[in-house]
Structure 1
Amino acid sequence: MSVTDARPFRPTQSTFFQQSASEGEKYKRPDCNGNLKLKFQVDRGYDPIKAEPAIQQLRNAVADCKLIDTSEEYLVKWLIVQDFDVDRAERMLRQSLEWRRVSGADDILDSYAPSDVLRQYFSMGHIGNDRFGCPVFVCGLGRMDIKGLLSSLTKKDFYNYLTWMFETFSKTIQEVNNKRTGYRTTRQTLVFDLDQFSMMNLTTKPAGAVMNGGGAIVAMIKYYLSNYPDSFRRIFVINAPSIFPWVFGFIKPLLAQSDVPKIKIFNSNKKEWTSALLEEIDDEQLPTYYGGNMTDPDGDPKCPRKLNMGGQVPHSFYLRKNPPIAKDYMETLNISAGVGGKKKLKFEVVVPHSAIRWEFMTDGGDIGFRVLNKNAEEIVPLNRVDSHIIMEEGQVTCNEPGQYVFQFDNTYSYLRKKKVHYHIVVDLPDNSQ
């Protein structure tokens, strides 16, 4: 019996927007060319004829923006989660585009690689595709040592990884689409296994960690829903403990109303959740451990080549074991706490396209940091960085000459003073004489 009520699963014969005029072929199996012939087609959840005017209004409203996707399928996602309120959908989309600019999401798959601790102990893997042609990802959340992971990551690492993971979801969806013709999916199916789930992992905040476990999970959900709307076809939560309805009470307000019916939650009754998984995922696309017949080449039923199951993070990964050390060439700033706890450093850039490089660390805790151009516009947005745990390094290209300002901000700390050890240099472009 499921822990919370969910709308019964009823396969429909309706396709997505571009195929709305007709039912099309009822697909069954992959053909020799890799075209996934689907057993069922995805319920689009809206009337495409009525949606068309709203899509066009939204397209016109964001005509000044550079979108990552200009298709109707992409635009309608923002409308669905905002109940087809064009103004709200536009505002949400613009905020997400700004987030993409600041986070570097467009290039994250090329510019970032997960650290060893994330690759080995963050449980998430693409195991196959469901009967609707959507990629299936499994997360062994219950077995993840969230406390250990947070002790091994800076805030920057954590958010970079989330961005990388969600962009990987999008890339996988695109790869699935590229392997077939006709039907085009825009969603994925997610399975969260809460076996061995512990409230201690959610409420304990390790010394110097990014946040507590509950905060990390909420941040992950907010990040996903704010920037990848209407991106899951189904979420299965299996092996949910008795406290999960209480936990879900905190998560549910974050969800769009259109997303809530897509979530199915089950307790530890394996027969029940296995039956639900196999109703929507073929057995050859599901590890034996979860009720299918897929194994690794060596027969492992958990398929660790596709999915790592988390586990305890060794203390050797903890950042507190190796705090940063100030270098001889660094200068020092003493920054008071509370009101007045700001210091600015100004650098003059003469040659266009010069780069300003920085490295700094702090004694006494984290510090707010941002970079502004000559027009007082943020080119590196204000963010609290964990420079007391790991050396903060970065650079920015200055396309225009002028004065650039580095600002260190400790106004949020009422009692603790900070000492900043820094080294900042201006590098001329390679083609300058």
Structure 2
Amino acid sequence: MGKLVSSSSIKMVVSSETRAGILEQFKRNIADCQLVDDNDDYVIKWLVVRNFDLVQAEKMLRRSVEWRRANGVDEILHQWSPPLVLVKYYPMSVIGNDKFSCPGKLTLKFWRKKNYFIYLFFINENETVAVLIASFGKADWRGILQSVTKRDYLRYVIYMAEKNYATMRKTSLLTGKSIAHQTFIIDLDGFSMRQRTYRPFREIGIEGIKMSEANYPESFRRVFIINAPKVFTFVFSMVKPFLHQVTLDKISVFGFDKNEWSAALLKEIDADQLPVYYGGTMTDPDGDPKCSSKLCMGGQVPQSYYLKVMKPIPKSYMTSLKLSGGSKTKLEYKIIQANSMLKWEFMTQEGDIDFGIHYMEKNGERVDLVNNKRNENNFTLEEGEIVCTRPVLYVVEFNSYNCLRSKEIWYRIIIDFP
């Protein structure tokens, strides 16, 4: 543990046909996209995570633009209020900046070699980078996930990502310094076996990672995982397949040797930007070394926040659907008018089912708008909506995980025209 696998540059050899410049070509290719941020610092991230493959980078970005529109992401900070339990007990906070805090930009340089161009991309080390601390080990994940629906939890992950990006963009404008990345500290101290073996936490964690990697690429400059227990290697092996290589290259994992990981943190972060608890000099006004007024450290969730456990009662307007063990059902909806709203609600008394929404491109490629989400809660009504931005065939899919038991689902899906 403790080794940081990272590279200061990403190299890619491309043919002379692209000598006009990958970045400028990419910007022309996506000129019709309504981006949340058209700054070069934002645009270039999609190229980096796809190794400057113009086709793959454009495909990834366009899918994300579609995902944002379908799920109302651009409006989430203004039109959605997160559940109080997440605000109080979700253990992630911005604490300060790292050492690289002078004005700077992402840089793309070119080096010609015979008939090829080698493109070097690197982060200018004169860039302000926000520092995030996530005390994952101290969080009551069972309590959190029993207090909110899966939909609200994932929306909060989006909400936090959008909030962080909005703060970075605002600070960039105010200071004139480029702020395009974050340094992320994940503290696993207190991460118990009870938490690790809680299947809903593992599954929603992977779902959140997949969503973040698909829509918030190249977000981190460095990722420090500290106080990792020995079994973390097994946990990390389940997560790694869902992380881009450029993300993996930035991750450094440390055990419980505070001298080792605090020294590594202080190489990247000035002491006055880091709480005493993490090896810095920052304290609260009352001397608290954890800076509890600035950092959410998680903690036990009171049961008063728990969702009420009630046997679901199907509503009269719902349709009944039976799934045999291990089977799936696809419901198709032809959208004839762009920007129609597809709304759903469903429930099951058996739980343990998969739900997702996608459409198919003309070339047969599948585009997921609501990723298949495992629903184990058989006591609540699941509901939501997406904007159907394209007049194509949309597919709603239910999948039964349990191969031995059949499931009965009650659902209602309607299409509202704009």
What TM-score comes out, normalization by structure 2 length?
0.74
Asked if the contact 1:344/1:406 (under 8 Å) is kept, the reply is yes
RMSD across aligned positions (CA): 4.2
How many percent identity over aligned positions?
38
Residues of 1 paired with 2:203 and 2:341: CA distance? Answer: 35
Alpha-carbon displacement from aligned partner over 1:234-289 (angstroms, at most 9, x marks no partner): 11111122233343344444443433442222221212222222222222221121
Matches of 2:398 and 2:251, distance apart in 1: 42
Q: Classify the secondary structure of the residue corresponding to 1:179.
A: helix
Q: CA 1:272/1:352 → structure 2, altered by over 3 Å: closer, same or farther?
A: closer
Residue equivalent to 2:296: 308
1:326 pairs with 2:313: yes
Contact 2:66–2:389 at 8 Å: present in 1 too?
no
Is 1:83 matched with 2:69?
A: no
Give SS of 1:310's match: coil
Selected match of 2:186 from 164, 185, 192: 192
Q: Is 1:151–2:133 an aligned residue pair?
A: no
Greater Rg over alpha carbons, structure = 1
Structure 2 counterparts to residues 31-430 of structure 1, below 5 A: 53-132=21-100, 133-181=128-176, 183-205=177-199, 211=200, 213-319=201-307, 321-323=308-310, 325-326=312-313, 330=317, 333=320, 335-337=322-324, 360-365=346-351, 366=353, 368=355, 386=375, 388-394=378-384, 409=398, 416-419=405-408
- Quick check: which one's strand share is greater? 2
For the residues of structure 2 that align with 1:216 and 1:51, how far apart are their CA atoms? 43
CA positional deviation for 1:396: 7.0
Number of paired residues?
379
Contact 2:354/2:400 (CA < 8 Å) preserved in 1?
no
1:26-81 CA-partner distances (Å, limit 9, x unpaired): xxxxxxxxxxxxxxxxx67679xx99711122223323322222232222211112
- Per-residue deviation, residues 301-343 of structure 1 (Å, max 9, x unmatched): 2122221112233444444x42364377655635353699759
Contact 1:126–1:138 at 8 Å: present in 2 too?
A: yes
Residue of structure 2 in register with 1:24 after alignment:
none
Task: Pick 1 or 2: higher relative contact order, CA cutoff 8 A, min separation 6.
Answer: 2
* d(CA) in 2 for partners of 1:215, 1:295: 36
Shift of 1:124: 0.2
- In structure 1, distance between residues paired with 2:389 and 2:242: 39
Q: Which amino acid aligns with 1:201?
A: Q
Native 8 Å contact 1:54 1:86 kept in 2: yes
Q: Do the aligned residues in 1 keep the contact of 2:70 with 2:386 (CA within 8 Å)?
A: no
- Structure 1 residue 94: deviation in Å? 2.1
Amino acid at match of 2:29: A
Give, in angstroms, the shift of residue 226 of structure 1.
Answer: 2.0
Seen in structure 2, the aligned counterparts of structure 1 residues 380 and 273 have a Cα distance that, compared at 3 Å, is closer
Paired position in structure 1 for 2:363: none
- Residue 233 (structure 1) shift: 0.9
Q: Give how far 1:4 is off.
A: 4.2
2:312·2:379 contact (CA, 8 Å) conserved in 1? no
Contact conserved, 2:349 with 2:379, CA < 8 A, in 1? no
Question: Residue 258 of structure 1 aligns to a residue in which SS?
Answer: helix
Give the C-alpha shift of residue 354 in structure 1.
9.4
Q: What is the Cα deviation at residue 353 of structure 1?
A: 9.7
- TM-score normalised per structure 1: 0.71
Structure 1: runs of 5+ lacking an equivalent = 10-42, 206-210
